[in-house]
Amino acid sequence: MATKIVKVIKPVERKTYIKGNFVGKYYGDFDSKKVLFKNERYYNINIYEGEIRNTEIISESDYEDIDSETHFLQQQFENVTSITDEQINNFDGFRLKINAPKVQFIDIEDVVKEDNQTFGTFSCKVYGYLIDTRDKEFETEIKVCDWCYKIPSLCKCKPYRPIEIDKPDTTKPKDSQGRTRIPSGVDFSEIFGWFIIIGLGIAFIAAIGLPGLILLAVITVIYFLFSYVSVLANGIINIIGWLLRLFFNFLIFMFAISILSGIYSVVTKSSTRSTGNIIPDQTEFVKEETTTQTKLTDSVSIISHQRVWRDYNQNIYRGNLSVLSSDFNASFQHRNLTNYRLYDDYQWTQLYHSLINNDKNKLEYVIKTFDSISRKNQLNKTQFAEMVVSCIQDIPYALVLQEQCKSNLYEDNSIKQQLYKCQECCIGDVKYGVQAPVEFVANLKGDCDTRTVLLFTILSKFGYDVAVLGSLPYQHSILAINLPYNGIYKSIKGKRYYTWETTAKGFEPGVLNPEISNMDLWSVHLITNNN
């Protein structure tokens, strides 16, 4: 496996150290715990408004050298207005927050005391720092295929195994003549072999029962007697001996059949027990999937796909994914009329938001289908999410390309091989290479972000806390959900969003291909508003 260096942009916190002449308003609360003498009153001072003039940028070392004349409980001076002719870095000069303030030359005026509070005007020389973020480019190393130089999840190259040349093992002990010594004693494989033989014998005895075992013993004794005394029994005894040999061989054959049958029975029973669920009869699961287009009026019809699928616990669901043809046309036109330059994560986020906002009220038939399934089966929150996502996972993967679905138009080896294997598993001439939610429901042609955008729209409609994660280095999009699962997750604002692959059946939350599991290379493209 080769490696590739990719560049990743991450936000980095930056501190800008400043000094200036500060004038502000304060209030103080009386603190009885800090009274040292009877006639002394101690107040906790808080600055709540002010302005700073003659602002200058200073170095961190200059700031550290300052000894503050007083200590403030608050960590920032907020709502500070900057009166300056020059802009301070990227700050707008009107809404500053001075962090870790240090003050000198304090002057307090207009002091008013009421009950256990004091108010007044506070002026000083203030030192502190402002905080903003800037994008910084980092380099990181990822694994790629030796042939097509793609990440393994996108690689379609034929697997190969390099030829390994056996090297002499220098770790094994040698005798005086340089030969490898064979360890004494019985190893694990030999013990395991004896257990298999004993187990097969027990299985055979259980299969034929005690009467059969006695009959087999008698026949075996007679067989050996006739084998050794056949010279005395002449021709008749030879014939009987031949018949007994034939019968004995038949018993051996039946013994082999019974052993194989017993092993198969044990394996199938244990596999059924290990799932913890009764696997439904396969005859019940018939993929009667159809697509229809029914006219409602002369100009409007409904496009409907009857879907049948299983969730991760082998529960079978049936339902129709339907949209109006007029909504499909409107969604198609909206996407083609947008104009985004997709050169960074922000542009992708803007595109996805535009597609969702245009389509979120056009999925009423899909929403009703999933809601009906939930009510009928009394699904809880996690079961409902798994039912919805497994439905979309069950839809066969299809390429969504900006150009035509012709392999000679692409240099990407994975796209070439996909088109070669399945020409129909592609939809071409799609602006941005992504379909809007309504478009996807109409034609069931979807790649990674086409699926995640639809699922984000549906699940957020039902109140789920979900996100869409995108990775430019991995060239992939996945769903992420804030539910009590285990496995791989992205931490966003202190909450865990577990990854959910949507392009293939069987992927449960928290499971992700190890080759694309570096969460530092995933950015948040969409997240629900309840954060």
SS (H, E, C) 378-444: CCCHHHHHHHHHHHHHHCCCCEECCCCCCHHHCCCHHHHHHHHHCCCCEECCCHHHCCCHHHHHHHC
> 508 and 380 in one domain?
yes
Task: Report the b/e string of 84-105 with b at 16+ CB within 10 A.
Answer: beeebeebeeeebebeebbbee
Range of the domain at 26: 2-136
Rounded mean pLDDT, 363-367:
95
Final residue of a domain: which of 136, 154, 172?
136
Residue 204 inside a domain? The answer is yes
Residue 470 inside a domain? The answer is yes
Tens-digit pLDDT profile for residues 404-447: 998 888 888 888 888 888 888 999 999 999 999 999 999 999 99
Strand partners, 262: none
Strand partners, 301: 295
Stretch among 172-176, 229-233, 443-447 having the lowest mean pLDDT = 172-176
> 235 and 95 in one domain?
no
Tokens describing residue 1: 């496996």
Cut 0.75: pTM above it: no
> 491 and 369 in one domain?
yes
Angle, vertex CA 14, rays to CA 10 and CA 15, nearest 5: 170
Number of domains in the chain: 3
Residue 275 inside a domain? The answer is no
**SS3 assignment, position 270:** helix
93 and 87 in contact (C-beta within 8 Å)? yes
226 and 241 in contact (C-beta within 8 Å)? yes
Tens-digit pLDDT profile for residues 442-470: 999 999 999 999 999 999 999 999 999 99
> 256 and 111 in one domain?
no
Tokens describing residue 454: 């639809």
**SS3 assignment, position 92:** coil
Location of structure tokens 């093992």: 169
Angle, vertex CA 436, rays to CA 290 and CA 414, nearest 5: 80
> 319 and 264 in one domain?
no
Report the alpha-carbon distance of residue 424 to residue 419 in Å, rounded.
8
Helix (H) or strand (E) holding 525: strand 523-527
**pLDDT score at 87:** 58
70 and 103 in contact (C-beta within 8 Å)? yes
Tokens describing residue 144: 């790629």
What mean pLDDT, rounded, does the chain reach?
77
Exposure of 471 by Cβ count < 10 A (0-12 exposed, 13-18 middle, 19+ buried)? buried
Residue 285 inside a domain? The answer is no
> 234 and 326 in one domain?
no
The edge-to-edge listing of strands for the beta sheet with 301-310 is 291-295, 301-310, 316-324
Residue 8 inside a domain? The answer is yes
Report the alpha-carbon distance of residue 207 to residue 265 in Å, rounded.
12
> 121 and 260 in one domain?
no
> 451 and 381 in one domain?
yes
Final residue of a domain: which of 136, 151, 184?
136
> 57 and 6 in one domain?
yes
Tokens describing residue 401: 């390309």
Stretch among 239-248, 293-302, 352-361 having the lowest mean pLDDT = 239-248
* pLDDT-derived band at 152, boundaries 50, 70, 90: low
Report the alpha-carbon distance of residue 108 to residue 295 in Å, rounded.
80
Q: How many CB atoms lie within 10 A of CB 300?
A: 12
> 418 and 306 in one domain?
yes
More confidently predicted of 158 and 236: 236
What would the 3-class secondary structure string for 34-89 be? HCCCCCCCCEEEEEEEEEEEEEEECCHHHHHCCCCCCCCCCCEEEEEEEECCCCCC
Q: How many CB atoms lie within 10 A of CB 163?
A: 5
Residue 498 inside a domain? The answer is yes
> 450 and 344 in one domain?
yes
Q: Which residues contact 490 (CB under 8 A, 6 or more apart)?
A: 467, 469, 480, 496, 497, 499, 519, 522, 524
Q: How many CB atoms lie within 10 A of CB 179?
A: 8
Check whether 30 has a pLDDT greater than 60. Answer: yes
**pLDDT score at 52:** 85
Final residue of a domain: which of 109, 136, 163?
136
Residue 186 inside a domain? The answer is no
Location of structure tokens 């390309």: 401
> 441 and 299 in one domain?
yes
Nearest to 223 by CA among 248, 195, 206, 198: 248
432 and 340 in contact (C-beta within 8 Å)? yes
Report the alpha-carbon distance of residue 176 to residue 360 in Å, rounded.
81
AA letter at 423: Q
Residue 153 inside a domain? The answer is no
